[in-house]
Amino acid sequence: MRHERRVGGDRCWVSAHLFSQGNLDRLLTDLVDPLLDELRERRLADRGFFLRYWDGGPHIRFRVLPSCREAVAAVRGLIEQRAFAYFAHSPAPEVLSQEAYLHSAREIGAWEGVRPTERMYANNSVHFLPYVPEHHRYGQGATLEVVEEHFSTSSELALDLLRGTTGPEQRELAALCHLLLAWFLSAQDVHELAGRQLANVSARRAPGAVDAVAASDARFLRRRERLLTLTATMRNVGRAWPHMPDDSSLKRWASSVSGVVDALGADACAPSAESAADLCAHLFANRVGVRIDAEGSLRYLAARAITDPAVLEGA
């Protein structure tokens, strides 16, 4: 059974799920990052991307685009070889039972509208499972390819951040900047978008979150001046990014998201460009390890800042 998705010509994506109950940051920096470099150095792959997920047990979904059809077997073999070596050298402890996994998976699955895998995959294992693109979110054909190219850029930016000694606050700040920039680049009416975010904030809360809105409101009031300054800065970046230095991470993000917005906007059959850009920001937060409840708080802060009278006056 093949587990690759064909992409233009004779090329296709290879999809590997790396299951680990340990530190996924370390798995990314010590396995995925050097593996991507090696695949490129050997000219086996053009690009790849990843995301974190819970279904079947905590894991990294690692997708790689081989340089040609003939390279597929070599790509799979190298991923498998390097994953086996990593798990043998740095095995994650068994911290999640089948019972605990199933309880959590059913809860998260109900919240996300996903039917979870009943049986948890083995810890410290790699499985080649199908990559099924979400056409209803990102379009098809050439439009989807632009989005997948963005996923690769987003993954590179996330790995750049993870290589540093960044704590939760730095990661959340990066996620907030990328979210604001995605909104400014994609929304026809960013204030209306922010209003919808505030109206939907309760629906975004993770299971078990308590008084999340009240806590986020207090956080906004404590940091209002800094948040308003940051929001104004990201608005300016959204306008001036083409003139920024090429090595700027914000320019790379803005250029990539703008490409997504343009591609979906030019495709009459594609879904909403605004929605896709918002999802791109969500996936960046996922890639840098921002928890879903923390991301919900960041979205609230971003929306409050955009709709603040001081920002409205300076728009």
The pLDDT score that the predictor gives to residue 2 is: 42
The three-state secondary structure class of 94 is: coil
Q: Are 176 and 301 in contact (CB under 8 A)?
A: yes
DSSP secondary structure of 19-72: E-SS-HHHHIIIIIHHHHHHHHHTTSEEEEEEEEE-TTSSEEEEEEEESSGGGH
Mean pLDDT score of the chain? 92
The pairing of strands 125-128 and 59-66 is: unpaired
Amino acid at position 178, single letter: H
Q: What is the CA radius of gyration of the chain?
A: 20
Residue with tokens 């490129």: 40
> Structural domains in the chain?
4-128 (3.30.70.1130), 135-314 (no CATH)
> pLDDT tens, 99-148?
999 999 999 999 889 999 999 999 999 999 999 999 999 999 999 999 99
Is-above-0.75 flag for pTM? Answer: yes
**Each residue of 232-272: pLDDT tens digit?**
999 999 999 999 999 999 999 999 999 999 999 999 999 99
Q: Output the pLDDT for position 242.
A: 97
Question: Is the confidence at residue 202, as pLDDT, over 80?
Answer: no
| Alpha-helix runs per DSSP H in 204-291 | 212-222, 224-240, 249-266, 273-287
Amino acid at 89: H
